[in-house]
């Protein structure tokens, strides 16, 4: 396993981050335990979750599903395996957790309560990376940072990160934190893949400028970059949403999967290897539903894409054309 500093911090995390959103709704607790066991054995020390996880994308009977379930599963695994001090544990705050008017957002009131609730579910006395799951521009940054600073002073939070922030949100957050003599954001979790490259305009430049590590989620574009054409040709059914995505991107997918076949690598592994080539990227988030899917993802760490291959991939998945303003101005 390879490791890299989380942004400008001295904290070392694995180059792949274990995403846990499937734990509970899609993956049973025993299977979730097996995935975490395997991840830890393979050197993955970076686990990502959120207080909202537990009901998302649930199918069938949802009577046993609830917000916070995923954190509860992770908490039981941490207690059973006694590995808390060897895991960099990340969770998130923002989304609506209950029906109370203040049971959401980034008010100091909600941040404090949400942190306490996550600690209880995770059966931990601290959160290594506490991430704001989304931007909320109605709460002043002085209030947000005061709440986060208090949690850091109490030892309940070690580092603070963001998710789904715009480039100017990162800049505003960091400038305000600097005025308060606080470290501010150390990471940003954004949707990023070969197919979804909008953050190259301003988020990635902001992360690089402020020393904020980038943690891409949905690195396979919801499965689109996972060899979907081959899977369909083998008779596997695709959802109606995926079928629409395939038709919208068929020429690109044909060219992409052809390159992957030429390289003798799985498309999902090439997609991850492409992200790992970006020096701003700390660790793409992989969200395996099975142990086999987890084991396969590790192959990406062994792939080194040539400059020629990177150029060919850029020709297929063109992105926004570079960084702002050069992407659209002289």
- Average pLDDT value for residue range 290-315: 94
d(CA 39, CA 294): 7
Mean pLDDT of 290-295: 90
Q: What is the pLDDT of residue 58?
A: 42
Q: What is the pLDDT of residue 277?
A: 96
- Greater model confidence, 235 or 128: 128
Order of strands across the sheet that contains 213-217: 213-217, 185-191, 157-163, 127-132, 88-93, 46-48, 17-19, 285-286
Name the 3-class secondary structure at 238: coil
Is the pLDDT confidence value at 45 over 50?
A: yes
pLDDT greater than 80 at residue 238 = no
Mean pLDDT value across residues 221-227: 93
| Direct distance between the N- and C-terminal alpha carbons of the chain, in angstroms, rounded to an integer | 42
Which pLDDT does position 124 carry in this prediction? 97
For the entire predicted model, the pTM comes to 0.94
Would you kindly state where each structural domain of the chain is located, as residue ranges? 3-223+266-304
- The token duo for 265 is 């690598």
Strand runs labelled E in 25-147: 46-48, 88-93, 127-132
CATH code, residues 3-223+266-304: 3.20.20.100
Taking only the tens place, the pLDDT of each residue in 49-97 is 999 999 854 445 555 789 999 999 999 999 999 989 999 999 999 999 9
Q: Contact 26/57 with Cβ under 8 angstroms?
A: yes
User: DSSP characters for 137-166?
Assistant: TTS-HHHHHHHHHHHHHTTSEEEEEEES--
Question: In the prediction, which pLDDT does 251 show?
Answer: 94
**Average of pLDDT values for 261-268?**
96
Rounded mean pLDDT of 212-231? 94
- Confidence class of residue 242 from pLDDT cuts 50, 70 and 90? confident
Active site residues: 53
| Contact predicate 249/277, CB 8 Å | no
Q: What is the average pLDDT across 175-194?
A: 98
**Secondary structure of the chain: what % helix, strand, coil (to 5)?**
45, 15, 40
* pLDDT in the model for residue 328: 94
Per-residue confidence (pLDDT) for residue 321, from 0 to 100? 93
pLDDT average, residue stretch 22-31: 94
Mean pLDDT of the chain: 94
According to DSSP, the β-strands at 17-19 and 3-5 are unpaired
Cα dihedral: 329, 256, 240, 247 (round 10): 70
């Amino acid at each position: 396993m390879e490791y890299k500093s989380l942004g400008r911090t001295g904290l070392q995390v694995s180059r792949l981050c274990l995403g846990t959103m499937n734990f509970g709704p899609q993956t049973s607790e025993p299977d979730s335990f097996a995935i975490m066991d395997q991840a830890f054995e393979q050197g993955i020390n970076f686990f990502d979750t959120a207080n909202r996880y537990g009901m998302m994308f649930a199918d069938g009977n949802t009577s046993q599903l609830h917000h916070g379930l995923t954190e509860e599963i992770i908490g039981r695994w941490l207690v059973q395996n006694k590995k808390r001090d060897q895991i960099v544990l990340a969770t998130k705050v923002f989304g609506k957790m209950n029906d109370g008017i203040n049971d959401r957002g980034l008010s100091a009131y909600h941040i404090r309560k949400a942190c306490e609730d996550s600690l209880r579910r995770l059966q931990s006395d601290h959160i290594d990376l506490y991430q704001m799951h989304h931007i909320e521009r109605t709460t002043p940054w002085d209030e947000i940072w005061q709440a986060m600073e208090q949690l850091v002073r109490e030892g309940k939070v070690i580092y603070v990160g963001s998710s789904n922030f715009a480039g100017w949100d990162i800049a505003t957050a960091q400038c305000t934190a600097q005025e308060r003599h606080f470290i501010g954001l150390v990471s940003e979790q954004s949707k990023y893949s070969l197919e979804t490259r909008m953050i190259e305009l301003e988020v990635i430049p902001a992360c690089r400028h402020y020393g904020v590590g980038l943690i891409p989620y949905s690195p396979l574009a919801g499965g689109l970059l996972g060899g979907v054409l081959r899977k369909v040709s083998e008779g596997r059914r695709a959802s109606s949403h995926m079928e629409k995505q395939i038709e919208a991107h068929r020429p690109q997918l044909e060219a992409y999967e052809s390159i992957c076949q030429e390289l003798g690598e799985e498309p999902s592994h090439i997609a991850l290897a492409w992200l790992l080539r970006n020096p701003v990227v700390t660790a793409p988030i992989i969200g395996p539903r099975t142990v086999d899917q987890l084991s396969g993802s590790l192959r990406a760490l062994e792939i080194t894409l040539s400059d020629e291959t990177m150029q060919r991939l850029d020709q297929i998945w063109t992105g926004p054309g570079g960084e702002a303003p050069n992407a659209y101005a002289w």
